[in-house]
Chain A
């Protein structure tokens, strides 16, 4: 299965039995050749957890200005 987003000019199209508007995504079976009006939607890659950079100490002031 693959996901494709409709980027064509028509107000809406019917693909795989669904009415799809520009920006809409459908699932189609593998091996189907789609036109340039359809762009593949990449599966979201796992987001790498980045440790937040600890704030440097001693540079700021608290609300009392100390």
Chain B
């Protein structure tokens, strides 16, 4: 099976840029969603519904990557919005903070193979990261899901026709983080977890069609509409009353999630959180579990890798 996903920054929002960064993927579900209108006109004894008229469409869907330090800075930049890179030589440090991304979009090109032996390029333009989820579980590779919204899907059958498949530029080394790289600290103390999930939802207004010259059949660039909803959950044994107390007393606490695979392969996501846990319950004779959902009140992500730009 031949499939690939490549990314590129667009110079002009919605205009194809040749993908120059390919990232190994686990699955993708990027889809064109047609926008149709149906006439309500009454025409004599017409019994059948008038044909819907396709007036354009947009793109929605997600991409799943095993999370590695290499090459993923671009995705974090478009998730958070702002980035500062330091380092004169490898390793470089990219610090991602919450910020506005105005009119900045990505091209995402997916090779979708058909049984006639063709790796069909589906090129998605005007793509914006509307959210992401990072999941880590003891015994497994760290997973990341990236939710996108975009302006259009170009392919060999679209009008205009899409570009050919760009040459594949995979990072020479792509080594996903695993659970052994992971550690968590709560309020400055190490906290052992069985699994964790981090969830980032950018409040973007997608599917905003307007009357305008140019490309009225594609949605306008999504802009922030509301407030970001960043949160997550920790799941562990019920060790003692300390973590539960953070929830019970409504204490703001520092949370740090680190995946450290070496001096040039480290991701730290940290900030202040408010826990929204639940009381531990005795469900049988097994060890009690503690679930600690939380909401980020502030968050910063720091990625250290060998890439000179995110």
Interface residues of A (CB under 8 A from B): 8-16, 19-22, 28, 32-38
- In the complex, the chain A residue whose C-beta lies closest to that of B305 is A11
- Are A9 and B310 touching (Cβ within 8 A)? yes
Task: Please give, as numbers and ranges, the residues of chain B lying within 8 Å of A38 by CB-CB distance.
Answer: 20
- In the complex, the chain B residue whose C-beta lies closest to that of A33 is B18
- In the complex, the chain A residue whose C-beta lies closest to that of B8 is A35
SS class, residues of chain A in contact with chain B: loop
Chain A nearest Cβ from B297, distance in angstroms? 32
SS class, residues of chain B in contact with chain A: loop
Kindly supply a per-residue 1/0 record for chain B positions 32-43, scoring 1 wherever the CB is within 8 Å of any chain A CB and 0 otherwise. Answer: 000000000000
- Are B166 and A11 touching (Cβ within 8 A)? no
Complex Cα–Cα for A12 and B308 (A) = 10
18 contacts between A and B (CB under 8 A): A8-B169, A9-B307, A9-B308, A9-B309, A10-B21, A10-B307, A11-B171, A11-B305, A12-B171, A13-B172, A14-B170, A19-B172, A35-B18, A35-B20, A35-B166, A35-B169, A36-B17, A37-B20
- How many chain B residues sit at the interface, stated as a range, is 20 to 34
Q: Is B19 an interface residue (CB 8 A)?
A: yes
Query: Which residue from B8, B167, B172, B309 sits with its C-beta under 8 Å from A32?
Result: B167
- Are A36 and B20 touching (Cβ within 8 A)? yes
Q: Is B202 an interface residue (CB 8 A)?
A: no
Complex Cα–Cα for A49 and B173 (A) = 45
Complex Cα–Cα for A29 and B71 (A) = 25
